[in-house]
Structure 1
């Protein structure tokens, strides 16, 4: 497969860098909770930008690379949407004022880009020299798919309560309340950290876990480091606005985790088949390639990913509407009309605290 044009790669990174810089400056200069209209317009802009880039990939690099980007972008975007559940839990658990949640998410996105850039560089180097790594990637994705399908969400509920966070609270002087978006403030004449530091650390740790899951998944669709990185960038861009746009809709996507487990399992199987096809391990088939192992074409991968996501979303909305109608016919029990079975493992009191929390001035 021919290499991507250098001018195309350089131009892409320049444009994406400028877009991300503009987005960052906008958040820093104007911290606020975006309206549904504003969030929707930004999400549409970023999705449109990704589709324009996909079209350019098809034109300048051909259908194979173009298809790999689309498949990778959709996979990473789907995983990112699932990760928003964890962000909701983190924001609620630490009662982050909604006015400053955009900035927290932007910092999380920057951390994610840095971590994923490192992981992608390492992954590309390993793949280039050790083809057997596909066996490990494939097995890891199959295990991740199983955990995704069977996880009850209890681990996510404890996202803010790990030992590192508890250790930080005992080692660092910490105020009891936020001081706007500051990481440090003054209490009784002493400089101390605010809970915002804990939030940033928690977001960074979750981003690290997300990178461990997502990078092997997209390397199962393409071995081009450029496509892997750009797919991750486009998946993360607009994630901040998507957080505010989806809101209550996310609680209705009850089958999304199952769809993601199917996608991860499919990519895991594809990786193992590819590893068999390029096998060099002496204890497997005498170190010879296993020619009967089929290579799954990119367009098949794309079709499976898109079909799985579409079916999961439609089934979730139908199930959510049906259970909501049944609850309405039975009579409201708590005035919300929401079905408990379709709600992710998030304490409603925590979410309410995140919605209503005001910026508190620290004790002077």
Structure 2
């Protein structure tokens, strides 16, 4: 692994925390409906920062690691869009008022970053100790890909999540959001609002996506620093991206299919790497540059195909 200095780690974390704070405080202090133009500008801003970092990282550490970063970033960004789709479903399922959605997104983004950081540390430690973890990660990704493909086009059943069912069963819940509060008093009785149920649903979704995304990015690079920055930059600006794509997600009908193909590819890459290390050096490995090309091509094809299909469907229904 490449030696990343403590100073580089500290500066990187400080920059990411600063950008995250800027995004979240801006939304928290001035809650409002985020229009398409504002969402597009801020989304482009955070993507530009991620690209600028990638250019610097490539210049400082070489083309190989730079390619690993860009492949990891594109992969994590595409998975974050799928994550946002579930956020949209949760918001609509519980009819979260527009003025309170920024609170849910703030919680979801912070929790996602914390969970992924924890899984990065655990994943890096396991990989350094046990090479067969590549095999386990590969199998996990292929299983996830199969499940994603089997259920593509289906909205997740949020109300039947175990954590949501338990909360509704054991906690008194108000009928409305009570100005976005989590806990309130009604006729002298302490009750929770639907906001708590929404946050529990968001938290469980963040956990599931962290379990998928970290093995996926380890399939592109085994450098913990790259895994961390790829995830962090993919999550930055997620609040703006939510408002940008919330009206477009119903048009990306093949997104889950494309992501299942990408996860299958990365899963095979991990299994081949394990076989190359533990079975025989003659087993071929998939280079990172090829992973970047495959990810980019698949995402481009499914996006274009989705837009073409939805346009044709609208023409037919007229």
**Which TM-score tier does this pair reach, normalised by the shorter chain?**
over 0.9
Measured after TM superposition, the shift of residue 248 of structure 1 is: 2.5
Measured after TM superposition, the shift of residue 24 of structure 1 is: 2.0
Alignment of 1:344-359 (within 5 A): none
Measured after TM superposition, the shift of residue 166 of structure 1 is: 2.2
Following the alignment from structure 1 to structure 2, what is the Cα–Cα distance between the partners of residues 263 and 198? 32
Measured after TM superposition, the shift of residue 159 of structure 1 is: 1.5
Following the alignment from structure 1 to structure 2, what is the Cα–Cα distance between the partners of residues 153 and 90? 16
* 1:220-258 per-position Cα deviation (integer Å, ceiling 9, x unaligned): 001111111111111111121111111222111111111
Which is helix-richer, 1 or 2? 2
Instruction: Number of aligned residue pairs: give it.
Output: 318
* 1:59-100 per-position Cα deviation (integer Å, ceiling 9, x unaligned): 111111111111001001111111222111111111100111
- 2:164/2:197 contact within 8 Å kept: yes
Measured after TM superposition, the shift of residue 160 of structure 1 is: 2.8
- 1:148/1:257 contact within 8 Å kept: yes
- 1:272 counterpart residue number: 271
- 2:108 counterpart residue number: 108
The partner residue of 1:311 within 271, 276, 301 is: 301
Following the alignment from structure 2 to structure 1, what is the Cα–Cα distance between the partners of residues 238 and 18? 17
- 1:340 counterpart residue number: none
Measured after TM superposition, the shift of residue 169 of structure 1 is: 2.2
- 1:159 counterpart residue number: 158
SS of aligned partner of 1:157: coil
Following the alignment from structure 1 to structure 2, what is the Cα–Cα distance between the partners of residues 157 and 143? 18
- 2:190 counterpart residue number: 191
- 1:136 counterpart residue number: 136
Following the alignment from structure 2 to structure 1, what is the Cα–Cα distance between the partners of residues 158 and 311? 30
- 1:184/1:192 contact within 8 Å kept: yes
- 1:253 counterpart residue number: 252
Q: Mark the CA change 1:148 to 1:189 in structure 2 (over 3 Å): closer, same or farther.
A: same
For normalisation by structure 1, the TM-score amounts to 0.84
Structure 2, gaps ≥5 residues long: none
The partner residue of 1:321 within 292, 311, 314 is: 311
- 1:349 counterpart residue number: none
Following the alignment from structure 1 to structure 2, what is the Cα–Cα distance between the partners of residues 231 and 160? 32
Higher alpha-carbon Rg: 1
- 1:296 counterpart residue number: 286
